Chains A and B, each alone.
Chain A
Amino acid sequence: MALLEIRGVSRRFGDFLAVDDVSLSIEAGEFFCLLGPSGCGKTTLLRMVAGFDAPDGGAILLDGRDVAGIPPEKRDVHTVFQSYALFPHMTVAQNIAFPLTMAGVGAEASRRRVEEALDGVSLGGMSGRYPSELSGGQRQRVAVARALVDRPKLLLLDEPLAALDAKLKERMQLELITLQKEVGITFVYVTHDQQEALALSHRIAVMNRGRVEQMDEPSRLYGSPRNRFVADFIGTCNLLEGEVAAHSRDALELRLDGIGTVRSSPVEGQVERLVPGVRGVLALRPEKVAISREAPLPGHNRTTGKVFDFLYLGDVTIYVVELDSGVRVEAMLPNSAPGRAKFFEAGDSVHVGWLPEAGVFLTD
């Protein structure tokens, strides 16, 4: 049985459907991410799980029990707020002791557990400080320690690292992964940062306009996006417009606008749907696109164009190639690869190629 089950939950504000028929099932011990652009309804969904808001339709089950009507303080769920919401009039120790006090834990036991919790987030010695005397990263750790000290079944984190700078963010991500493994508590983590979601989670639900677009493991989301939104939102992706030319059990042929006929891998179970003439996009990751001065190896789909511009990123360079028809394709080449030491310049004529199985044809 799933620890948290969200069944067809909706929430509307006036005419606006903030959460639209969302169903999710989250297993105990999982590090689960809700990923989506800002305003897509992540916080709204999280607040309904925490009990600050109630769904207009559907049900939320925690450990198999419907939590409708149960106030937040009676749910075995804690939240790490984006603002951290540390009580400014209490010391670090008093903040962390708060849930223990509420649960009626004795002073002695409480002190011991607060100390353990502080050590757990390497903040020993900070117990007497006030939140205003802490740095951003320290506040974040106190917020996590406070939410974990009485071992809830489920921890909700709403963009907990959004306020931190890039370096600190990376370090806190590693710490959160370690911590989650150690305590074994289920994390539901909300973020709009796709890299963060890919790095942290066991599974990700990608949300858009209140709906879950796709739910999968990070590698499968990246490798096999189900629709245009997911392909575009996770990582970068060339989206080449076109239509199905022919589709059989072992071959899919596409006619791409401004490129021509290319081969792609057949899509399982879609042979009937992807009949010739159906329009869609070929989602092609830039790192799967090869560019070279010589014609690419046989077996590749190929075309030609001119380097329009490039973006040097240190470890890799992204080249924007303008094909003869005007369509632009991005290709990412590692700067360390042998034989790639020589960069292309803007204006160079190049061959562009990719393998049939490199892209996914999406009709949504």
Chain B
Amino acid sequence: MSAAWRASLQRFLITGPPLVYLLLFFGIPTLIMVLASLRLPGEFGGLAPLWETGPSGTELNLSLESYGRFFSDSLYAWLFFKSFLYALVTAVACLLLAYPLALLIARSPGKRRDLLVLLVILPFWSNFLIRVYAWMIILGPESVLTRTLNALLAGLGIAPVELLFTPFAVLVGLVYVHLPFMVLPLFANLEKHDPALLDAAQDLGAGAWSRFWRVTFPLSLPGVYAGTALVFIPAFGIFAIPDLLGGTQGIMIGNVIKQQFLDTRDWPFGSVLSMVLTVGALALAGLAALFGRRTRV
């Protein structure tokens, strides 16, 4: 039938180009990484040849050696756990900061609301490195903040502290960069709440506190899950923030991956770490989607 044939041609022409592009530049690279995690490191970094011709004929050069290394050295598990903790603290801090803001925006009248949303998005659009760099200035050893703090501490007889190149600096940077990802989904959710629900709750005798905990908050859970996922997942795998703000104590799994690929050049092991990170991120995304679906109102 020509109509059906034309319809499938049309579908092919529209779907084909982006599909092919993404397969080529996302699908295949991902598969290559899976394969690379099973290969051996090359003599001078990179990968050893996939086929090896030895006395016993040609062999496929695959092994689980790098996975073995990952699971036998608790340092890497510890790094993952540390990254997980960083991401968790970041998500919680973002939630605490974002919730009142999102609520404020959602309850503002129309025109002001648009402006307030724009004000949240605006810093998010400025260059990521600049936003991290700003904290290098603020937390730097000579900054007003550091000097004021140390003067105060000196008054109390406590030794001066460093702010930059510490886990604290990493957390501040993580929260700062990811905050909009929490505000926006929360706002999108809170905006849809029918104000009559709160009136009804009040009418039925609920005070401000119970109105929040029994009506607003439970209804906003899908937004909370979405925001948490949007903050947690990128924070988990980040490398630029610990790289710039963290010094030696503040490194996360992303830094080790970068190091394996660019400095040590142990690609199989870098791929193993990436695989673990991917699986972790996808599991978390799946979990968030699951929670989000269960609480769909």
Contact = CB atoms under 8 A, between A and B. Distances in A.
Whether A and B touch (Cβ < 8 Å) is answered with yes
A69 to B, nearest CB: 6
Contacts of B1: 69
A310 to B, nearest CB: 35
Nearest to B6: A71
Contacts of B3: 69, 71
A281 to B, nearest CB: 44
A71 B10 CA distance: 15
A157 B252 CA distance: 64
A55 to B, nearest CB: 14
Interface string A42-76: 00000000000000000000000000010100000
Contacts of A69: 1, 3
Contacts of A71: 3
Interface in B55-77: none
A71 B4 CA distance: 12
Chain B interface size range: under 10
Main secondary structure of the interface of A (DSSP, over half): loop
A69 B3 CA distance: 7
Contacts, number: 3
Interface in B1-60: 1, 3
A71 B1 CA distance: 13
Nearest to B1: A69
Interface in A183-222: none
A54 to B, nearest CB: 9
A89 B3 CA distance: 30
Nearest to B3: A69
A71 B3 CA distance: 9
A69 B2 CA distance: 9
B245 to A, nearest CB: 48
A73 to B, nearest CB: 13
Interface in B172-226: none
Interface string A238-253: 0000000000000000
A59 to B, nearest CB: 16
A59 B120 CA distance: 58
A291 to B, nearest CB: 44
Interface string A129-143: 000000000000000
Nearest to B2: A69
A71 B2 CA distance: 12
A69 B1 CA distance: 9
A223 to B, nearest CB: 45
A147 to B, nearest CB: 24
B10 to A, nearest CB: 13
A231 B3 CA distance: 43
A30 B3 CA distance: 32
A76 to B, nearest CB: 19
B292 to A, nearest CB: 27
A124 to B, nearest CB: 35
Nearest to A69: B3
B124 to A, nearest CB: 30
A71 B6 CA distance: 12
A41 to B, nearest CB: 23
Nearest to A70: B3
A70 to B, nearest CB: 9
Nearest to A71: B3
Nearest to A68: B3
Interface string A68-86: 0101000000000000000
A240 to B, nearest CB: 44
Nearest to A54: B3
A115 B247 CA distance: 75
B185 to A, nearest CB: 28
A53 to B, nearest CB: 13
A364 to B, nearest CB: 40
A69 B7 CA distance: 12
Interface in B96-126: none
A189 to B, nearest CB: 29
Interface of B: 1, 3
3 contacts: A69-B1, A69-B3, A71-B3
**A-B residue pairs, 3 tightest by C-beta:** A69-B3, A71-B3, A69-B1
Interface of A: 69, 71
